[in-house]
Chain A
Amino acid sequence: AQSVSQHNHHVILSEAASLELGCNYSYGGTVNLFWYVQYPGQHLQLLLKYFSGDPLVKGIKGFEAEFIKSKFSFNLRKPSVQWSDTAEYFCAVRAGSARQLTFGSGTQLTVLP
C-alpha cells in the first residue's frame, strides 16, 4: 500500500522567510499529488495539485510545489511567508488506479510576526 511521509512535524519561521515543506511518497507508478492546508478552526482546503505535465505547479496564495519523480517527492514552497500562512499543511497522494487519497501526517507551520 502506498504511504506518504512528511518529515517535518512542526516548522517555525519568521515573516518573509522562505518555506519548503517536504513530502515523499512510496509508489512506483503514476501518481496524482495534492497539498491541502487547514487554517486554525477551518476545514481542509486545496492549495494545489499535480496530475500531469509541468512538474512545477503553482497554487493559491503564492504557493508552488515541484514534482520530482526520481525522488518520489512533491515539496511545497513559498518564497516569502506571511503570518497568515500559519496553518497545518497536508500532502496527499492518489496512487495508480486508487480512488482515494492517502494523506501524510501533516506539518504544522507557525509564522512569527
Chain B
Amino acid sequence: EAGVAQSPRYKIIEKRQSVAFWCNPISGHATLYWYQQILGQGPKLLIQFQNNGVVDDSQLPKDRFSAERLKGVDSTLKIQPAKLEDSAVYLCASSLVSGGAIQTGYTFGSGTRLTVV
C-alpha cells in the first residue's frame, strides 16, 4: 500500500512570500488532515476534510492560510503571506473513517519542512 505522499520535502521562503504544499492521501481514505508541527511541540490540527468538504477548520489562521481538496483526493495547503512564526513541519495525514468514527490511526506523510526567513 502506497503511503501518504507530500511535496516538497523542504521549502525556504522569505517572509511575506507565498507557499503551497501538496498532499496525496492513501487510496480509499476519505478523510484528510493537515497538521502543523512547530519544533519541540506536538502536531496541531489545521484543517480536516471529509472527501472534498471541510469538517473542521477552527484552528486554521484563515487570514493567511487556505486549503482545498477539490476532487476529494489530493489536497493543497497555501500560506499567503508567510510570517516567521509559520516555520514548522506541515504534516498531511489520512485515515479510514466509517460511521463517523476513525477506524484506525492516521497514516502520516513525511511532511514539508518550511523555513521562513
Q: Which of A's residues lie within 8 Å of B, judged by CB?
A: 4, 6, 32, 34, 36, 42-46, 49, 90, 92, 94, 97, 99-106
Contacts and interface: CB of A to CB of B under 8 A. Distances in A.
B25 to A, nearest CB: 13
B102 A94 contact: yes
Contacts of A49: 104-105
A87 to B, nearest CB: 14
Interface residues of B, number: 28
B97 A99 contact: yes
Interface stretch (B15-23, B70-78, B107-115): B107-115
Contacts of A6: 42
A62 B25 CA distance: 29
11 contacts: A6-B42, A43-B3, A43-B110, A44-B91, A45-B108, A92-B42, A99-B55, A100-B45, A101-B102, A101-B105, A103-B43
A100 B44 CA distance: 10
Given A36-B105, A100-B56, A101-B106, 20 more contacts: A6-B42, A36-B108, A42-B110, A43-B110, A43-B111, A44-B93, A44-B108, A46-B106, A94-B102, A97-B101, A99-B31, A99-B50, A99-B56, A99-B100, A100-B33, A101-B102, A103-B42, A103-B43, A105-B41, A106-B41
Secondary structure of the B contact surface, majority rule: strand
Contacts of A43: 3, 91, 108-111
Contacts of B43: 44, 90, 103
Nearest to A45: B108
Contacts of A42: 110
A10 to B, nearest CB: 10
